[in-house]
Amino acid sequence: MKALIFEKFGGPEVLQYRDIKNPEIGSEEILLEMKAIGLNFADVYRRKGNYHLVGQPPYILGYEGAGIVKQVGNKVEGIKVGDRVAFADVPFANAEFVSVPQDKAVPIPDSISYETAASLLLQGLTAHYLTKDSYFINNNDVALVHAAAGGVGQLLVQIITLLGGKVIGLTSSEKKRQAALSAGANQVFLYSEDWKAQVKEVTDGLGADVVYESIGATLMDSFDVTRIGGTVVFFGMAGGDPAPVDPRMLMDTSKTLTGGDLWNVLTSREERVKRSGELFEWIQSGKLKISEPTRFPLSDGAKAHEFIESRKSTGKVLLIP
């Protein structure tokens, strides 16, 4: 089969598209012929050597995708050849075929395309637990969303609104401001503006009930615009490492800092299927919309990495085998 591999850490140029052996499946695994593969910043970090990688060189990136079942292990139950399946946390996805453990296989409804499933799962499940587990959005809660035009950001905006909250978004350009507004944000400010003053102004000086912090370097700024007794949810550091937090500040302001990691939530197949099912239902009913993804052939994986690192994307980037 063809796969996108690399043998040393570095820039997009280390990626190679070449023939390797097909994966072998175990008794509780399925062989999936990939139709769409999600590209995420975690793949960039792994290519650079910043994140842990499974196995030895040649490495294969990718943890998210969707496809059709070609083979099932002899102990697999409830899945058959020809089924449409997606996954959010299986390694070696940047290939024509992937071995998927049964407990990580998520059935795709007939009305959901492979590309939608591959665009939705990882980022959608992240937005789902952030609004249901890390901080439960209640009616009229004011939420500040960093990087509101990104893949997770646009889904956060929509789900917060769906659950009755109000959204203030932060983005880096006018184009991204319009994307966040189109997703349903009530106001969107630019990082180049005095956004902290603007957030305070539109919240009558109180600040947001919850701030979804994915930049890292802006963590203390996020606390500045969180109301007394409010919550900052830290779930990423795309813009650099966060500053240390003095717990005395949390005590003095009655603010909460909580972290979020998807893998602490997806602890069983039941959780994966249940949470994915709710996302699929929202898609089917028109309550949740996925922006048109940017597609690259898997063979052009290096170009896709260059694109996602340029920060020009406003939605999902997909690799198509």
Assess whether the previous peptide bond of 58 is cis (omega < 30° from 0): yes
In a domain, 127, yes or no: no
Instruction: Take residue 45 and report the two structure tokens written for it.
Output: 């970090």
Confidence at residue 314, expressed as pLDDT on a 0 to 100 scale: 67
In a domain, 128, yes or no: no
In a domain, 176, yes or no: yes
Give me the helices (H) in the chain, please: 41-48, 114-129, 151-162, 174-183, 195-202, 219-224, 247-253, 269-284, 301-309
Same domain assignment for residues 281 and 248:
no
Domain boundary residue, one of 222, 238, 259: 259
Same domain assignment for residues 55 and 102:
yes
Confidence at residue 239, expressed as pLDDT on a 0 to 100 scale: 87
- The SS3 call for residue 193 is coil
Split into its structural domains, the chain has a count of: 2
Q: What is the CATH number of the domain that holds 213?
A: 3.40.50.720
Confidence at residue 292, expressed as pLDDT on a 0 to 100 scale: 87
In a domain, 133, yes or no: no
Q: What percentage of the chain carries pLDDT values higher than 70?
A: 99
Same domain assignment for residues 60 and 82:
yes
In a domain, 167, yes or no: yes
In a domain, 306, yes or no: yes
- Of 63, 80, 68, 106, the residue nearest 263 (C-alpha): 63
Same domain assignment for residues 6 and 115:
yes
Extract the residue ranges of the chain whose pLDDT is less than 70. Answer: 314
Domain that holds residue 253: 139-259
